Structure 1
């Protein structure tokens, strides 16, 4: 019994390092509750049948691999692993991926863009989940039954914080809305909510917020702040450094990093 051992959902599940694209790589401490929340949301949304087939295409140093791996283990699904020859060869990986019997699959945004533009999309796929980079434009077409799901989330918020289905009718490729047990705030430079349609910095609260950075207490205190809107004692929110705004339909549009403006 985990409780008899003193184990709780607040114990660490893993530590994974950020890419360092916004500074020195940092070890992010993810607790079990964040990982379980991510996986439960994914299975309930996309994998209602245990016999679902999915693939592991993300590198193990990329946090999306935990999403792919643990979803399959949690659900008892079949997880297909690409051949070693596909490592470092995007075209070979996509050709392998296209030929598998998949219902749900994740691809990093640049790979998904290539697949959609070069007609390398898996024909059995119902859900194509993309993320890890900004989707700059909508694909020219989406062939049924394919549904394109755009996901956003920093490593510090356990892989995915917002998610939304895209349609070729969308004027911009939005990043959807918060996933289960997740809160999103758009705040100005004084920490106040911005008006609907105005640009604000994106803060993330809820079950997916990481414990902080490994052995970096000062940086943890700078980026992980008290969440006054939670109602939960000790609740925190993560300051992403990303800009976004709400679209008229309630979905979020990602506008890039503050540092890039």
Structure 2
């Protein structure tokens, strides 16, 4: 059985800052998804994969609440994130141009624990969940760690195609059979020796639930990054609570923004 990954140090980084940054680019990745890059004065401690920030586009103040997004890449001079165009706020965001400004707060939340060198990671993503998985893949590649990446979508046209590092074996899955493997991410993972594997996933809840069940059957550690709307982003409003697996007592809940968004999948109710 694979050992539990050792957590990043520190697991929670209390170094969040608020800035107004200049948008460097806002690029379409698919008919349904965009990548935005924003300049920043980098915090003393850079975000880790799985952490997020909240954003309020300055050009569209009609949005009442900030929107949370996970980092997909960070450098000393800019950070990037991937988002799906799903509602009024993200449709407005898709209209933003280079040189527009954005007000953001971050980094927030807990990131993915990194595996020990003798464990082979399996990274699974769907939709905009590809962002934090892409970030994690590049961090793993920087450590010289070979890993499997499985990206899934119901339709091939919804797959987000990125330039993955050479250490990643990438498998694309589409349920409509339009590209790569026909089926779900579970089909993409396929039959393989699960000894010394650890799972990381981000995307739609049914997809992460399926990965959780597979990992549980194999006795492998599994980490998920949960996506949810939130108001404050710092644990105060408790509007992003998710049901946690308890020990038979009263139902427990965890705040995605503060105790997450990354959880051991066995700690949640699916």
Q: TM-score, normalised by structure 1?
A: 0.38
Between structures 1 and 2, the one with greater strand share: 2
Between structures 1 and 2, the one with greater helix share: 1
